Amino acid sequence: MLNVMTVDVEDWFHVQAFSHIYPVSEWNSQRTRIIANVIKTLEILHEHRAKATFFILGWVAQRFPEIVALIHDRGHEIASHSQYHRLVYNLSPDEFREDLRQSILHIEQAANVTVRGYRAPSFSVRPQQKWIWTIFREFGIEFDSSVFPVMHDTYGTPSAPRFPYKVKVDEGSSVLEIPPSTIRWAGMNVPVAGGGYLRMFPYWFTKRAIRKLNSEGHPAIVYFHPWELDVHQKRLDAGLKSRLRHYTNLSSFESKLHRLLAEFEFSTISDVVIGGKKTVA
Ligand SMILES: [Zn+2]
C-alpha cells in the first residue's frame, strides 16, 4: 500500500522550541544549513524511489529559491509551511491571511508552481479557528495537514478525526484535512509517524503501527524535517523539554528513515489521498 511522506522544510533556527532564542529579526544573521540538509533529504528519497509532499517555509523560498526549484525538479509536491513559522492560534485572521499570501507568493515565484497545500507550524490549527478554512479557499488551498488529533502541551485536538476528511467551507467547496498518523492505545490517540515521535519510538514500533494502519485500509501520513538528518547542527541550551524534543535520537534518525523507506512505499498527498489511490470518507 502506498503511504504518504511529508517533509517540513525549515532551518534549525526556525523551530518552535527555539523561537524565544531566535525571533524572525535574528534569522538573516544565522548560519544556514538548509541547503545541505534538503539535498541530503532528496538523495535519500531518490535512493528509495520515494516521492513526498514538501511543506516549505516562505522565508526559505524567498531567501533560497533554488531549493524550491530543486525539490520541484525532482518530482515532489510543493506546499506551504507558512511564511514566518508563527503559531496560527496566535494570529488574527488578517495576520494569517497576509502570512499565507506571502508564503504562497515566494514559493510559487521560486519554482513556477501552484501551491495547493498547507501545514501550520507546530500543527497550530484549533477548531475555533473556523475562519481558516474560508481563507484557505480564497488562496486556492485544497488540502491542509495542521489538525493533529492528539493531546500535547502546545498543539492538538484529541477529538478531531484520525483519518483524511473533508471540511465543508460553503456549498460546493471544501478543504481536505490530512491528519498525521496516530494509533489508538489505552483509549488515546498516540502519534506514531513523525518528528520527535518517529525519533523516540524504536523502529519496530513504528513499523508495527504503519502495518496496522495499512491492514485497516489507511495509508500512514509520515512527516520529518531536514534538520533531523543533521547530526552536526549547533546544539543549543534551550531548556530540558526543548532539548529533548529537538535532539533525542538525532544520530539514529537517518538509518531509521532508510529502513522505513526500504520497507514501505511512499508518495505525495496528491498521489495517495487526492489522486484516487485512496478514497476519502
Ligand atoms: Zn515547522
Angle between helices 65-73 and 34-47 (to 10 degrees): 0
pLDDT number for residue 242:
66
User: In angstroms, what is the span from residue 122 Cα to ligand 1's centroid?
Assistant: 6
What is the tens place of the pLDDT at every residue in 220-264?
Answer: 999 999 999 987 777 766 676 666 666 667 778 899 999 999 999
> Domains in the chain: how many in total?
1
| Ligand 1 centre distance from Cα of residue 116 (Å) | 18
What is the per-residue pLDDT for 10? 94
Residue 280 domain flag: no
Interval between CA 195 and ligand 1 midpoint (Å): 10
How far, in Å, is the centroid of ligand 1 from the Cα of 230? 16
Closest CA to 261 of 217, 214, 208, 222: 222
Name the average pLDDT for the chain: 90
How many angstroms separate the alpha carbon of residue 171 from the centre of ligand 1? 32
Quote the CA–CA distance of 95 and 78 in Å, as a whole number: 23
Q: Is residue 132 part of a domain?
A: yes
Under 8 Å between Cβ of 131 and 93: yes
Q: What are phi and psi of 227, to 5 degrees?
A: -65, -15
Could you tell me where the DSSP H helices lie in 30-79?
34-47, 58-63, 65-73
Say if 149 falls within a structural domain: yes
CATH number at residue 60: 3.20.20.370
- The Å distance, Cα 256 to ligand 1 centre, comes to 20
Q: In this predicted model, what pLDDT tens digit does every residue of 33-60 receive, in sequence order?
A: 899 999 999 999 999 999 999 999 999 9
User: Is residue 111 a part of any domain in this protein?
Assistant: yes
Asked whether the beta carbons of 48 and 259 are under 8 A apart, the reply is: no
In three state form, how does the secondary structure of 193-254 look? CEHHHHHHCCHHHHHHHHHHHHHCCCCCEEEECHHHHCCCCCCCCCCHHHHHHHHCCHHHHH
What would the mean pLDDT of 172-179 be, rounded to a whole number?
94
Q: Is residue 281 part of a domain?
A: no
Q: Is residue 125 part of a domain?
A: yes
Among 10-14, 153-157, 248-252, 260-264, where is mean pLDDT lowest? 248-252
**CB of 276 closer than 8 Å to CB of 62:** no
Residue 56 lies in a domain: yes
CA of 137 to the centre of ligand 1 (A): 22
Task: Return the C-alpha cell found at 152.
Answer: 500535547
DSSP 8-state symbol, 82: -
Q: Does 131 fall in a domain?
A: yes
| H or E element that contains 168 | strand 165-170
Q: How far is the CA of 121 from the centre of ligand 1 (A)?
A: 4
Structural domain boundaries enclosing 139: 2-274
Spatial contact of 162 and 172, defined as CB atoms under 8 Å apart: no
